[in-house]
Amino acid sequence: MKAENKTPFPTDSDTNSKSQPIRVRLKTPILITSLIMYLVSFMLLALYVKRAEAIPSVFPVITVAWLFGLLPGIVAAVVSFPVNIIMCIIAGVGWQTMVYQGGIQGTVALVIIAAVVGRMQDLATSAQRELSERKRAEEILRKSEERFRRMAENIRDGLTIFEDHTISYVNDRMCEITGYARDEFLTMKGLDFVLPEDRERLRTFYEEFRRSGTVPEELEFRILRKDGSVCHIQNRYSVNRVDDKALGFYIITADITERKRFEEERETLIKELQAALAQVKTLGGLLPICSSCKKIRDDRGYWNQIEEYIQQHSYADFSHGICPECAEKLYPDIFKNKDEKSD
């Protein structure tokens, strides 16, 4: 199985060879063809015209300058002069004729031609390299933006980017929290959907950012959704700085409406419990009680019947009755008659 390329960005080895120029892909065949054309034309002039010319050297010199650039082209033009002399000796043509009848001038002309062609090729190569690097940078930027967008659209919280005091980007989650579509959101200002009671705090925050370029770590406030419902949100801020200059800031927004509801319910329950505890009446400490009549002295110094005092300081109620001992003491006649009857 062919291994998958794990490289995040394209490399030189990943470049498709078909996208390269023809001169790069067919460099060797072109060079060989130019040498063959030089040899054939030189030999034809030597055999049929009976003289040697520097003109055939144009083929390899221009080819080298076209393929390799300015410096190699000039070197090829200079080298062509001694090569032509050697070819004259091989072909049996007087090399002196070529030297003294246009050989030197022809070589100089070849140098000039090679310099022009080579320079043009260098400029074209440089432009092509810059274009390739620009395309590569654009591809890297495109992939980076694509990764950022995927990350921004898949986080659980809302993401908002402020640049130049306007909203430049919101993710789908932020649209879900507020109920506004992205196109609507991008035309709004930062305070448009904030509840009027909380706008002053946000206004102070924006003014501080414009003045000093600083933002709080987090801020909680209420917003009004598109459907009119109130939503509690928590914003966490991060400043976007370039060369120590604040260009804007990023906001991560969490919907804390449910958390706030639970907190309010908890606070309500705590208050209810505290109120209930405040109403609970308990007795404690030392109670001053009369050893004779059993009355209890209260905090104001008044003496109260024991049952009255307990009722005031607890939830106990009294149901009055009489115990057997007291009944016999209070009603001795009744108990005396009972004893006689029982005998």
The 3-state DSSP composition of the chain as helix, strand, coil percent (nearest 5) reads 60, 15, 25
pLDDT surpasses 60 at 8: no
Domain-embedded: residue 279: no
Indicate whether 206 and 323 sit together in one domain: no
Q: What CATH code is carried by the domain that includes residue 194? A: 3.30.450.20
Residue 103 lies in a domain: yes
Residues 66-98 pLDDT 10s: 888 888 888 888 888 788 777 777 777 766 666
7-23 average pLDDT score: 49
The answer on pLDDT for 20 being more than 70 is: no
- Averaged over 227-252, what is the pLDDT? 84
Give me the pLDDT at residue 86, please.
79
Residues 85 and 197 in one domain: no
pLDDT band at 4 (very low <50, low <70, confident <90, very high): very low
Query: Is the same domain home to 139 and 173?
Result: no
Q: Has residue 308 got a pLDDT over 60? A: yes
pLDDT at position 59: 83
Q: Are residues 126 and 92 in the same domain?
A: yes
State the residue range of the domain holding 91: 12-150
Q: Lowest-confidence range among 35-39, 275-279, 286-290, 296-300? A: 275-279
Tally of helices (H runs) and strands (E runs) in the chain = 13, 7
Which helix (H) or strand (E) is 253 found in, with range? strand 245-255
Residue 117 structure tokens? 């062609």
Task: DSSP for 186-241, please give it.
Answer: HTS-TTTTB-GGGHHHHHHHHHHHHHHS---SEEEEEEE-TTS-EEEEEEEEEEEE
Does 227 share its domain with 167? yes
Q: Residues 120, 165: one domain?
A: no
Query: Is 282 a domain residue?
Result: no
Confidence band for 286, pLDDT divided at 50, 70 and 90: confident
Contact indicator for 73, 114 with CB cutoff of 8 Å:
yes
| pLDDT at res. 255 | 92
Phi, psi of 247, deg, nearest 5: -95, -20
Same domain flag for 47 and 119: yes
The residue type found at 148 is F
* Residue 168 maps to a domain: yes
Does residue 303 register a pLDDT over 60?
yes
How many domains does the chain divide into?
A: 3
Q: Which of 150, 171, 200 is where one domain is finished?
A: 150
Residue 129: C-alpha distances to residues 8, 11, 26, 148 (Å): 21, 14, 19, 28
Q: Residue type for 309, please?
A: Y
